[in-house]
Structure 1
Amino acid sequence: MHPLMQLIRPVWAAPEQIQVVSTTRIGGVSQAPYYSLNMGDHVGDRPAAVAKNRARLLSSLALPDAQWLTQVHGTACVEAQRDGVIREADACWTSETDLACVIMTADCLPAVFTDGERVAAAHAGWRGLVDGVLEATLAQFAGADMHVWLGPAIGPSVFEVGEEVRQQFCDHLAQSDDFFLPSVNQGKWLADLYGLARLRLSVAGIDRVSGGDYCTYSDKIRSDTAGLNKNHLDSARFFSYRREQQTGRMATLIWKTAR
């Protein structure tokens, strides 16, 4: 791994040949406001910087191939390929070894799935979550022995939404109301993306769900790494669209190694 790159790995009970990482904003070459490990090729960053960041990540993981997506806040789940084509979808899956399924986020929820044979990754913002992107991804599996990990997303204490968002979730599942609290701002609610995702997965019969331990909006860099680059590195460990608007994207990858 590149000496400055910081990656997050899940603590879960998936088979040992299943590998997962989520990037932070640390360890890349992009300049402000995308400083520094920006994986998003659609946010205004220099294409050469994004390409170098992606190559650096895959090289550090010894990964020969990855399926990158153009995400549209939808529910399509496509099969990952090794052809280098960037496909339009919000989830992808594969049963091949050493081929990573990749999604990008900067507050939305990254979710990865495996049954030990297949792996998948899904990008679940509130629109994709309410429309069923998790269920569409689960449809690529037989349903037995599933493991799901929820990567870094915006936390429930800061994710403010309007009444129309809460109503859409509650119209689909009445229990969704348990994951909204009134905001101090009239007519607004604080939504728990992690809780809403766990509810949808539970209704789908999936109970082995881990993760949900971060907040991309408010999480801070550890004090022992805060001095890596005092001229550019701020205190935020993750990119956050809600916090910065013009910002980069993290990547969450899942892949299967040979047994």
Structure 2
Amino acid sequence: MSTQQQWLFPNWPGLPGTVGVLSTTRRGGVSPAPYDDGMGSGGLNLGTHVGDQPHNVARNRAILREMLPDDPAWLSQVHGTAVANLADIGPQQVPDADASVSTIPGKVCVIMTADCLPVLFCDKEGKTVAAAHAGWRGLASGVLENTVAAMREAGAGELMAWMGPAIGAYQFEVGHDVKQAFLNGAVDESGVRHVEAAFSLIEGKPGKYLCDIYGLARYLLHRTGVKEVHGGEFCTVSNSGRFYSYRRDGVTGRQATLIWIK
């Protein structure tokens, strides 16, 4: 297997040379089914909470570690909006948070996903970076806004973002409650229009919609002043040979999306 197949290197125009970014796939690890690579070889599952054997996860994390300047600052993700500042986190701490921010070279922000949206941030000077886990609950509750606020508090300048692999707009079926959660956060008619555009009624399924989580994230980022937003071209559900997907498989692994200052 080639390195290009195993890792996903974000296409992020304008990314400062002082910033490193990486997204893993399900390929190139040692985990057996149902955490494998979908093609008969070992999978690079990085989640300790999904039923995989701990020694497999440890080996997979060691494989990832070879690509990084330091151990990733793993989080206990709870679909919330808390943001951890890596300057305040010790090497053995795993805080309950769904985003992290760093201004320290070598410290690695990391998010694990298997359909939820990972969003990476950096300022244009390459001095502040962050990673956020945006499932629909966190997205509707303000995890991206909180991450942007934490970066600005840490001294970040003009921000840009990249959206990593997540469930695509033609696969994410939701109910009216999800749509209403975003409508509740729309502060004006422009916001309502953006939210409405992200939901498409499913023919023959009253009250069911296809949801464009990338579109919702782009709208929320623009609303917070993050105008340069890249990525958003993947679908974890549709690409079973490259990505883990909880919606598709139920019991499955987790991939990671990471960013750091070199």
TM-score of the two chains, using structure 2 as the length reference: 0.88
Separation in 1 of the partners of 2:249 and 2:4?
Answer: 23
CA contact (8 A) 1:217 1:242 kept: yes
Separation in 1 of the partners of 2:101 and 2:157?
Answer: 16
| Cα deviation 1:116-175 (Å, max 9, x = unaligned) | 111110000000000000001001123632110000000001100000110111111123
Which residue in the other structure is 1:58 paired with?
Answer: 65
Correspondence 1:170 to 2:190: no
Q: Which amino acid aligns with 1:88?
A: D
Q: Which amino acid aligns with 2:48?
A: D
CA contact (8 A) 1:4 1:27 kept: no
CA contact (8 A) 2:45 2:254 kept: yes
> Which one is further off, 152-161 or 61-70?
61-70
Aligned-pair distance for 1:2? 8.3
Which residue in the other structure is 1:10 paired with?
Answer: 10
Separation in 2 of the partners of 1:3 and 1:89?
Answer: 31
Which residue in the other structure is 1:151 paired with?
Answer: 164
Q: Which amino acid aligns with 1:117?
A: K
Identity %: 49
Correspondence 1:24 to 2:25: yes
Q: Which amino acid aligns with 2:141?
A: D
Please give the secondary structure, in 1, of the residue aligned with 2:215: helix
> Which one is further off, 63-72 or 242-251?
63-72
Where structure 1 has 5 or more consecutive residues not aligned to the other structure, the ranges are 220-234
Which residue in the other structure is 2:115 paired with?
Answer: 107
Aligned-pair distance for 1:205? 1.1
> Which one is further off, 183-192 or 113-122?
183-192
| Cα deviation 1:67-106 (Å, max 9, x = unaligned) | 0011000000001235132221100111111111011000
Which residue in the other structure is 1:203 paired with?
Answer: 223
| Cα deviation 1:35-65 (Å, max 9, x = unaligned) | 1100111111111111111111011x14223
The runs of at least 4 consecutive aligned structure 1 residues that moved more than 4 Å come to: 1-5
Aligned-pair distance for 1:5? 6.3
CA RMSD, 1 decimal: 1.6
Which residue in the other structure is 2:201 paired with?
Answer: 182
Aligned-pair distance for 1:253? 0.5
Corresponding residue to 1:161 among 169, 174, 191: 174
